Structure 1
Amino acid sequence: MTATTLPRGDSSTEPAPPSEPSAGAPPTREGRRPTATPSRSLGLGVVGLWLSVIVLLPLAALTVRSFEEGFGGFWEAVTAPVALAALEVTLLVSAAVALVNAVMGTLIAWVLVRDEFPGKRVVNALIDLPFALPTIVASIVLLSLYGPNSPVGVHLNATRWALFVALAFVTLPFVVRSVQPVLIELDREVEEAAASLGASNRTTFRRIVLPTLAPAIIGGTGLAFARAVGEYGSVVLIGGNIPRETQVVSQYIQQQIEIDRPVNAAAVSVALLAVSFLTLFALRIWSGWSQRKEANSS
């Protein structure tokens, strides 16, 4: 008996196994690694170019300018007595404003979400007014209201209280708009369950509501502080610009430019940028930590 020869392409020939996806990016449904599409590459390129032109290059140029006289010149400009006094006034008033707005902004957000009253939509729209209103206009309004010719008999012109009021005005929306969406999404059934178990309103707020609102409150407070540190327009008229008393860092920087000391102005600007950056960076780290903690607990 002779053996028959199987023809080519017989079904007994086993097909080659599919190739394994290489390590790296997660495989797609077809077992292949996703590749960067031209549209994605183009988008990343446009974003990188725009950020470089708008943010990175100006910051790099400012930093280089601040060190034109070496590190010694930079340090001397930053630690000058008047510069340190301006930094102290700015940081102290900004911190006080941020803390007060943390409380008042949370209270305003609570009222806007939980209560119904006539004119609620108008009040809700007014919260965003500092975002749309030029800050120099805010300074004019505050000067007219609390200046030497105050119609209400309150004279705050050229005092630290004037700085406080001006900065509180421009930074309030940061806290309100950070807390308000969290309050809207907050599950009311948990509060009702706590109340049914005999918990007081104070205990319910402290043990249930506040831990949920804490990330939004801290985030909004940090943004308010960072904005207050670099504010100029709202304090330029009502603040008085008195060295060692009411002069903030932004006004000191302008003064250095006017007397032809651009290197000193650049050095103090870099120090101010460092304060704002560290504040925002700390907020990012804390936000990531709190999200991981919440994910692990759930």
Structure 2
Amino acid sequence: MSLRPSPVIPGFNLTLGYTMLYLSLLVFIPLAGMFIYAAQLTWTEFWQIVSHDSVLIALKLSLVTALVAALLNGVIGTVLAWVLVRYRFPGRRIIDAMIDLPFALPTAVAGIALTALYAPNGLVGKLFAADGIIGQFFELQIAFTPLGISLALVFVTLPFVVRTIQPVLEDIPRELEEAASCLGANPLQVFRHVLLPALLPAWLTGFSLAFARGLGEYGSIIFISGNIPKETQVLPFLIMAKLDQFDYAAATAIGVMMLVLSFIMLLIINLIQRYVAKR
């Protein structure tokens, strides 16, 4: 029995060629150029740059704030997606449209608005100041702290979680939940055995997208962070500082480190997502 070769889809080679050309111009060549430039450094020089105290502190702050924002959005985004899919109420379409506002709003504008809101003299920030209504019992500074950075990242990355979970919820028949309830399952058991297996891959996708966006975010946190070295300076700010000092070698080395770490984290999350999907 002879095996026939699979038919070639018309236009496949042309489409593949255009795809590889665009990827090469927009992704592969710039990234390769960064690695080639970083290769001019010796290993000792590279390690001295990426192991400097300022770099390690900025890396820790970037990872922690991006992780906190992604986890918060994992909860908030799931609740929002659930409300938008399962309930009908006045103003639902307006709220649904506002979810995409961070995509349309310039990040610098979002950063200015958040800073004006959460600064010590802002509408919300002054409530937590020492002489504020809440600050008299629980004083808290939001802007110019890691907390302010996390809040800004929550605002920017929220649509990634909502828009990945929302279509999955819409595809889950409500009859499955009703059948589980009729068989004696309580709401927690319904969520664990009926909804969670279907939502978990989408949730992991939204979480990874939010985490990756938060790790490299710049515009929305440039104002609310204050960009204080070794306190509220994240890795993108440190790279810009090196570029302003014309220290291109250090900026490239930090960028390569950031790129490699991001790729490893996304790879781990994708492997976990595939494992969950197979289970």
Give runs of aligned pairs for residues 252-291 of structure 1, distance below 5 A.
Answer: 252-291=238-277
Instruction: Answer whether contact 1:222 1:283 (CA < 8 A) is retained.
Output: yes
Return the index of the structure with the highest Cα Rg: 1
Query: 1:55-100 CA deviation, whole Å, 9 max, x = no partner?
Result: 0000011111123221211111111100000001110111111111
Query: 1:205-264 CA deviation, whole Å, 9 max, x = no partner?
Result: 122111221111111111111110000000001110011111100000000111121111
2:220 aligned partner, one-letter code: S
Query: 1:74-131 CA deviation, whole Å, 9 max, x = no partner?
Result: 1111111000000011101111111111111101110111112110000000001111
State the match for 2:172 in structure 1. 186
Instruction: Answer whether contact 1:67 1:73 (CA < 8 A) is retained.
Output: no
Return the match for 2:21 from 46, 49, 55.
49
Is 1:85–2:57 an aligned residue pair?
Answer: yes
Per-residue deviation, 1:285: 2.5
State the match for 1:76 in structure 2. 48
Return the match for 1:63 from 35, 40, 45.
35
Alpha-carbon distance in 1 for matches of 2:11, 2:204: 37
5+ long unaligned stretches in structure 1? 1-19, 28-32, 294-298
Alpha-carbon distance in 1 for matches of 2:94, 2:12: 42
Query: 1:31-65 CA deviation, whole Å, 9 max, x = no partner?
Result: xx245467211111111111111100000111111
- TM-score, with length taken from structure 2: 0.90
5+ long unaligned stretches in structure 2? 128-140
State the match for 2:89 in structure 1. 117
Alpha-carbon distance in 1 for matches of 2:29, 2:66: 28
State the match for 2:194 in structure 1. 208
Query: 1:172-216 CA deviation, whole Å, 9 max, x = no partner?
Result: 111111111110001211111111122111221122111221111
Is 1:105–2:90 an aligned residue pair?
Answer: no
Alpha-carbon distance in 2 for matches of 1:291, 1:242: 42
Q: What count of residue pairs does the alignment treat as equivalent?
A: 265
Instruction: Answer whether contact 2:204 2:273 (CA < 8 A) is retained.
Output: no
Instruction: Answer whether contact 2:143 2:224 (CA < 8 A) is retained.
Output: yes
Per-residue deviation, 1:282: 2.3
- TM-score, with length taken from structure 1: 0.85
Instruction: Answer whether contact 2:102 2:155 (CA < 8 A) is retained.
Output: yes
State the match for 2:117 in structure 1. 145
Give runs of aligned pairs for residues 123-202 of structure 1, distance below 5 A.
Answer: 123-152=95-124, 153-154=126-127, 156-202=142-188
Please identify, of 246-255 and 59-68, the stretch whose mean Cα deviation from structure 2 is larger.
59-68
Q: Secondary structure at the match of 1:157?
A: coil
Please identify, of 205-214 and 218-227, the stretch whose mean Cα deviation from structure 2 is larger.
205-214
Q: Secondary structure at the match of 1:171?
A: helix
Alpha-carbon distance in 2 for matches of 1:35, 1:182: 33
State the match for 1:17 in structure 2. none
1:89 aligned partner, one-letter code: L
Identity %: 43
Instruction: Answer whether contact 2:200 2:276 (CA < 8 A) is retained.
Output: no
State the match for 1:21 in structure 2. 2
Alpha-carbon distance in 1 for matches of 2:33, 2:119: 39
